[in-house]
Amino acid sequence: MKPIHGGVCAPQGFQAGGIRCGIKGGSLKRDLALIYSQAPCTSAALFTANRVKAASVLVSQQHLAQGPIRGIIANSGNANACTGEAGIAAARRMAELAGKALGIPGEQVAVASTGVIGVPLPIEAIAEAMEALRHSLRSDVQGHEAALEAIMTTDTRKKAGALEIAIAGFPVRLGGMVKGSGMIHPNMGTMLCFITTDAFISQELLDLALRRSVQRSFNRVTVDGDTSTNDTILIMANGEGHNPRIQTQGPDFAVFAAALEELCISLARAMARDGEGATKLLTVTLRGAPDEASAAVLAKSVASSNLVKAACFGADANWGRVLCALGYAGIAFDPHQVEIAFASAAGRLELCKGGTGLPFSEDKAKQILLEDAIEIIITLGHGPGEAVVWGCDLTYNYIKINGDYRS
Catalytic residue list = 190
Q: Which of 324, 346, 350, 367 binds a copy of itself (CB under 8 A)?
A: 324
Nearest to 12 by CA among 175, 121, 193, 217: 175
User: Using the rule CB under 8 A, is 398 a contact of a copy of itself?
Assistant: yes
CB 246 within 8 A of CB 257: no
Neighbouring-strand partners of residue 236: 43, 196
State which amino acid sits at residue 368: I
Give dist(CA 136, CA 98) in Å, integer: 13
User: Using the rule CB under 8 A, is 62 a contact of a copy of itself?
Assistant: no
Q: Which is nearer to a copy of itself, 249 or 306 (CB)?
A: 306
Number of residues that bind a copy of itself (CB under 8 A): 65
Q: Which is nearer to a copy of itself, 28 or 404 (CB)?
A: 404
Site for a copy of itself in 88-117 (CB under 8 A): 116-117
User: Using the rule CB under 8 A, is 380 a contact of a copy of itself?
Assistant: no
Q: What angle do CA 47, 50, 53 make, to 5 degrees?
A: 70
Q: Which of 8, 311, 368, 380 binds a copy of itself (CB under 8 A)?
A: 311
Nearest to 56 by CA among 119, 111, 127, 114: 111
Give dist(CA 350, CA 343) in Å, integer: 9
Nearest to 6 by CA among 212, 154, 188, 198: 198
3-state secondary structure at position 219 = helix
Q: Which is nearer to a copy of itself, 56 or 83 (CB)?
A: 83
Q: Which of 119, 127, 132, 208 binds a copy of itself (CB under 8 A)?
A: 119
Site for a copy of itself in 217-236 (CB under 8 A): 224-229
User: Using the rule CB under 8 A, is 389 a contact of a copy of itself?
Assistant: no
Give dist(CA 183, CA 185) in Å, integer: 7
Kindly state the smallest distance separating residue 387's Cβ from a copy of itself, in Å. Answer: 18
3-state secondary structure at position 302 = helix
Q: Which of 306, 345, 361, 370 binds a copy of itself (CB under 8 A)?
A: 306
Contact pattern for a copy of itself over residues 329 through 358, marking x by CB under 8 A: ---xx-xx---------------x-xxxx-
User: Using the rule CB under 8 A, is 61 a contact of a copy of itself?
Assistant: no
Q: Which is nearer to a copy of itself, 16 or 298 (CB)?
A: 298
User: Using the rule CB under 8 A, is 325 a contact of a copy of itself?
Assistant: yes
CB 388 within 8 A of CB 285: yes
Give the up-direction half-sphere exposure of residue 287: CA atoms within 13 A in the CB hemisphere.
Answer: 6
Q: How many CB atoms within 10 Å of residue 1?
A: 12
Neighbouring-strand partners of residue 283: 375, 390
Stretch of 127-135, 239-247, 370-378, 391-399 contacting a copy of itself, by CB under 8 A: 391-399
Q: In degrees rounded to 5, what are phi and psi of residue 293?
A: -65, -45
Site for a copy of itself in 263-292 (CB under 8 A): none
Give dist(CA 23, CA 78) in Å, integer: 7
User: Using the rule CB under 8 A, is 319 a contact of a copy of itself?
Assistant: yes
List of residues contacting a copy of itself (CB under 8 A) = 49-53, 79, 81-84, 87, 116-119, 182-183, 185, 187, 224-229, 304-307, 310-311, 313-314, 316, 318-321, 323-328, 332-333, 335-336, 352, 354-357, 394-396, 398-400, 402-407
